[in-house]
Amino acid sequence: MPLPAGWLLRHSVVTCLLLHSLVLMTFCFHHAATSCSKSCYCSEGEGGGKTVRCSNLQLTEIPKDLPNDTRRLYLDFNLFTSAPANAFAGLPHLLTLDLSHNELSLLEPGAFRGLGSSLQFLDLSSNKLVSFNPDAFEGLRARANLTNNPWHCDCNLQMALPCVDLEPASLTGIVCQTSNPADIGVIGLAFLLAPDIDLCVVTKKTTDVAMLVTMFGWFSMVISYLVYYVRANQEDARRHLEYLKSLPSRQGKSEESSTISTVV
């Protein structure tokens, strides 16, 4: 009787190990089935749709193999420098897009195309955005975080802001780091919260002044040339006139003398 008991024990240990590895394997397969993008970590969100995390992976390009039922996408702390057109066009159910803490300096026109009706929050904070391109945000009504970017505030920016449909409070994140003109006093301010500053009027004024100065320069050149021309010609004319005046009298004298000599 002691032999079968030992055998049974050993047998059960083997069965247990087998079972254990089977469980592990199914877990792994299950995991493979839901790890949708090859470099990202995916999980099923409550209320359907996936949450995809690709944070801090040294990615330089936005992954193209993201599942089309992604609701939340975290791409923060990577090395993206630009967002190409239609980068997220295959994600019609996206609610949250986190692109913060990257090197983004260029958002191509249509970068967020296809997200207009779904996206609620777009995080672009802590990037390298300098100029605001309204064509990149076409149709987007989301709340956006635009803080911590080296925004350059100029007339172009001022003209671009009314063209976007983003939630208006988002635009208060545009804090000017440089400006044109440089001494307008908008640096360090949220551009939208400085309503007295009109960068377009100022640049228009400076171009007007430049135009005036150039025109005045040309005008004074033309006038001084005219004055010089008239003076030079006046002198010429006077000399000519004097010469002409001197001619008939000399001629008259010589004629007189010749007649006198013939008479004599």
Ligand X SMILES: *[C@@H]1O[C@H](CO)[C@@H](O)[C@H](O)[C@H]1NC(C)=O
Q: Cα separation of 68 and 37, whole Å?
A: 11
Answer yes or no: are the C-beta atoms of 104 and 81 closer than 8 Å. yes
Residue 102 or 158: the one with the smaller Cβ distance to ligand X is 102
Q: Closest distance between ligand X and the C-beta of residue 59, in Å?
A: 18
Tokens in use for 92? 């019609």
Q: How many residues does the chain have?
A: 264
Residue 72 or 184: the one with the smaller Cβ distance to ligand X is 72
Phi-psi region for residue 247, left (φ > 0), alpha (ψ -120 to 50) or beta? Answer: alpha
Q: Closest distance between ligand X and the C-beta of residue 169, in Å?
A: 8
Residue 68 or 251: the one with the smaller Cβ distance to ligand X is 68
Judged by the rule CB under 6 A, the positions of this chain that interact with ligand X are 68-69, 92, 100, 125-126, 145, 147-148
Residue 125 or 158: the one with the smaller Cβ distance to ligand X is 125
Q: What are the CA-CA distances from residue 213 to residues 118, 204, 208 (Å)?
A: 53, 14, 9
Q: Closest distance between ligand X and the C-beta of residue 92, in Å?
A: 6
Q: Closest distance between ligand X and the C-beta of residue 69, in Å?
A: 5
> Which strand (E) or helix (H) includes residue 122?
strand 121-123
Q: Closest distance between ligand X and the C-beta of residue 102, in Å?
A: 11
Residue 147 or 158: the one with the smaller Cβ distance to ligand X is 147
Residue 123 or 154: the one with the smaller Cβ distance to ligand X is 123
Residue 75: burial class (beta carbons within 10 Å; 0-12, 13-18, 19+): buried
Q: Closest distance between ligand X and the C-beta of residue 148, in Å?
A: 5
Instruction: Output the residue with the shortest Cβ distance to ligand X.
Output: 125
Q: What is the CA radius of gyration of the chain?
A: 42
Spell out a b/e string for 215-253, using b for 16 or more CB atoms within 10 Å of the CB, else e. Answer: eeeeeeeeeeeeeeeeeeeeeeeeeeeeeeeeeeeeeee
